[in-house]
Structure 1
Amino acid sequence: MKEFIDNRVILWDFDGVIVDSMAVREKGFWETLSNYPEEEVKQLIDYHKRNGGLSRYVKFRYFFENIREEEVSEKKVAELSSSFSTIMRKSLVNKEILIGEVLDFIENHQEEFKMHIVSGSDGEELRFLCDQLGISSYFKSIEGSPTPKISLVKNLLERTKYDKQKVCLIGDSINDLDAAEYNDIDFFGYNNQELKNKAGYIENFR
């Protein structure tokens, strides 16, 4: 199997790969949707766990259209997403949530690889968090939602003209795998054993 270090360009997912944020994100959904029935919010949390690479915009829309079976306006989705982002900006500016072995790898190899972040998290929030966590300088670009990850990767490859044979995406969800396959680049799973038999897999970075 091709090793991820054979690539010269690494596209990183953020949540679950660079930061251990799942519990914080879950709490954010609970707080944002506190006025809705608990059982419905539980269903959204389950959807969130299965689809870590999808944006909150998609998840809030799913909550109304698929769980509550009602129409929702773009304005309502934007309002909920903004409330969620406010909670995240307060809760995720904590260096203790950085995944140590990944951060060590990034810091020790920043001169060897061209690195970018492509995430389902809100783009503006993501850049704010990376600045606060002191990691922005390691990456050539930091991009997030509302643009879908498939499009984020596509746009990045078109913009940079990278040789796809030298690019890989490292992520922890099936949505990350889908984005890599759609754009014809290597994928390596991390921090999610369910991805182990679907593609290349990184057990650890040490």
Structure 2
Amino acid sequence: MTATARGSALDVIVFDFDGVILNSMPLKTTTFGRLFEDLGPEASAYVRAYHVEHAGVSRYVKFEHFYQKFHGRSVTPEESAALDRRFAELAMQELLRTPTLPGAREFLEAHHATWPLYVASGAPQYELDAVLGAMGLARCFKAICGAPPAKAEVLRRIVQAEGADPARVLMIGDANTDLAAARAVGTRFLGVGPFPEPVVWMADLTGLPGYIASLG
């Protein structure tokens, strides 16, 4: 850990991916709707709304929910894998063209040697590796952690791997899933996008250095 990190209130910073590093939520919402458009417009609208409401949850968990709702049974491993492949076909090239959130790239490139930086995301591991690698940002992270497992378990493993006091770890996320993980593990939390009081949040990451400095 660097002298700069030791002089701050934080020892580790953990980022969600979609909606925090990459402005990809609209694209993924549309893609989920397209996956189930053969079931009709109402089903497609439901899928899109469910994805937004449960942002940060693994798409494999969502596939299971949608099969239970629309087909009255569990999704098979083969069906889940096929949906995942189709999702990647529909979204991957667009993901590679999607811009980072304002302030994200600047912070990562300026501070990857200041703190151990991690990604904890509900997106699949292969997707995170491909997109962050293509963006030239993979080198900024000590580890990139995707689904499975669930977000809280990923965050808990990061804290344990660093031997860190959870109170000195910051989780940055845009969804209630991220907030719930931070509360379960006992880390600090910073929201991206609106959160109800008393949760502290900002519209993007341009103000992140100032926020960290304010922690003392």
The answer to whether TM tops 0.5 is: yes
1:152, CA displacement in angstroms?
A: 0.9
1:30, CA displacement in angstroms?
A: 2.7
In structure 1, the residue matched to 2:61 is: 58
What is the percent sequence identity of the aligned residues?
26
In structure 2, the residue matched to 1:190 is: 192
User: CA separation of 1:22/1:71 partners in 2, compared to 1, >3 Å: closer, same or farther?
Assistant: same
Alpha-carbon distance in structure 2 between the residues aligned to 1:87 and 1:198: 38
Greater displacement, 22-31 / 40-49: 22-31
Alpha-carbon distance in structure 1 between the residues aligned to 2:188 and 2:92: 32
Equivalent position to 1:157, from 156, 159, 174: 159
User: Is structure 2 residue 5 aligned with structure 1 residue 8?
Assistant: no
1:159, CA displacement in angstroms?
A: 2.3
Deviations 1:151-193 (CA, angstroms, capped at 9, x unpaired): 11122222222222210100000000011111111111112x1
Q: Does the 8 A contact of 1:40 with 1:68 survive in 2? A: no
TM-score by length of 1: 0.88
Equivalent position to 2:51, from 43, 48, 52: 48
SS in 2 for 1:120: strand
Deviations 1:47-101 (CA, angstroms, capped at 9, x unpaired): 111111101111111112135534322321222122212333222111x521122
Deviations 1:101-158 (CA, angstroms, capped at 9, x unpaired): 2222222222222110000111111111100111111111101112111111122222
In structure 2, the residue matched to 1:120 is: 122
1:32, CA displacement in angstroms?
A: 2.3
Gaps of 5+ in 1: none
In structure 1, the residue matched to 2:110 is: 108
Equivalent position to 2:81, from 78, 85, 93: 78
Q: Which amino acid aligns with 2:191?
A: G
Alignment of structure 1 residues 130-145 onto 2, 5 Å: 130-145=132-147
Paired residue total? 199
Q: Does the 8 A contact of 2:15 with 2:172 survive in 1? A: yes
1:197, CA displacement in angstroms?
A: 1.1
Q: Does the 8 A contact of 1:12 with 1:171 survive in 2? A: yes
Q: Does the 8 A contact of 1:106 with 1:138 survive in 2? A: yes
SS in 2 for 1:93: helix
Alpha-carbon distance in structure 2 between the residues aligned to 1:41 and 1:175: 23
1:198, CA displacement in angstroms?
A: 4.5
Alpha-carbon distance in structure 1 between the residues aligned to 2:94 and 2:102: 18
In structure 1, the residue matched to 2:213 is: none
User: CA separation of 1:79/1:102 partners in 2, compared to 1, >3 Å: closer, same or farther?
Assistant: same
Equivalent position to 2:34, from 28, 31, 44: 31
